Structure 1
Amino acid sequence: MREAIDADSERIIELWQACGLTRPWNDPATDLGQARAGETSAVLVLQTPDGVTGTVMVGFDGHRGWVYYLAVDPGRRGLGHGRDLMVAAEAWLLGAGARKVQLMVRAGNDVTGFYEALGYTDQRTRVFGRRLEEPAGRPPD
């Protein structure tokens, strides 16, 4: 396990795409670059003799740790790589000062059993979001 380097970028994006983690409105190269450049974020990779076979993005917002882009090469699932990546993510976040870790799972991505087996629970929290391409409208009068 190590932090991503420039030479990993193409493979990381391939993994994210193979795992269905990318979306047309998010440029994965931008996401990767911003996470790697941030002082409170990183992209960790699982390096095997065959190359990069897994990734996880971590970030600490000063209150909570967050996990994004957990990806394991589809041909290598079931070998414990996802668990190893989460252990590394939690260690990184703990070192950054986080005392709680959160992650979001998109509707339709049936990975809840994986996270539940690691001790994660549904926090019963709704997540709201908005694209920042345009300023927010005025609140209604």
Structure 2
Amino acid sequence: MPHGDNESGVRTARAGDGPALAALWAACGLTRPWNDPAQDFAFALAGPASTVLAIEREGRIVASAMVGHDGHRGAVYYVAADPAMRGQGLGRAVMAAAERWLAERGVWKLNLMVRRGNEGALGFYAGLGYAQDEVVVMSKRLT
């Protein structure tokens, strides 16, 4: 998807998009003090099994999804749509592009995490066909 998805305007993010994406993620409440969005962005762009997808309107990034995989399971992070443009299909478009990106690489399952209490996100993903699994996510900081 280097040149973009003609139908929805989704394109692969470029290195210079980092500040605009970080601002979008902050506006959507996705950033946390313990995760540096600039570092996350650079890591995703540099990885052979990850990228960041973006939708641009009138020269401004208005939606995004960071997508990657481990060989058979895909994951999305930083799924965002400009709060002033919600309800226009941007989230659906960027998620469809993320699913396509994974499918093109032979990935057959997509996992995602939603913060506890984020009912809006749960409803959004349920509307796209996602269902809650009976799992507990555990993590440990390595650095």
Same topology, TM > 0.5: yes
Determine what percentage of the aligned residue pairs are the same residue.
Answer: 50
Q: Distance in 2 between matches of 1:90 and 1:63?
A: 13
Query: What's the counterpart of residue 136 of structure 1?
Result: none
The aligned residue for residue 31 of structure 2 is 22
Deviations 1:45-81 (A, max 9, x none): 0111241100100001112011111000000001110
Structure 2 Cα separation of the partners of residues 97 and 62 of structure 1: 8
| Equivalent position SS for 1:124 | coil
Residue 124 of structure 1 deviates from its aligned partner by: 1.4
**Residue in structure 2 matched with residue 139 of structure 1 by the alignment:** none
User: Gapped runs of 5+ residues in structure 1?
Assistant: 134-141
Give the alignment's TM-score, normalised by structure 1.
0.91
Q: Secondary structure at the match of 2:71?
A: coil
Taking only aligned residues, the RMSD between alpha carbons, in angstroms, comes to 0.9
Matches of 1:19 and 1:109, distance apart in 2: 12
- Output aligned runs, 1:31-110, within 5 Å: 31-110=40-119
Separation of aligned partners in 2, 1:83 and 1:113: 12
**Equivalent AA in structure 2 for residue 129 of structure 1:** S
Structure with max Cα Rg: 1
User: Which residue does 2:3 correspond to in 1?
Assistant: none
Give the TM-score normalised by structure 2: 0.90
Query: Where does residue 13 of structure 2 map in the other structure?
Result: 4
The count of aligned residue pairs is 133
CA distance in 1, matches of 2:112, 2:89: 19
Q: Distance in 2 between matches of 1:124 and 1:77?
A: 30
Post-superposition CA distance 1:5-31 (Å, at most 9, x none): 122111100011011111101111000
Structure 2 spans left out of the alignment, 5+ residues: 1-9
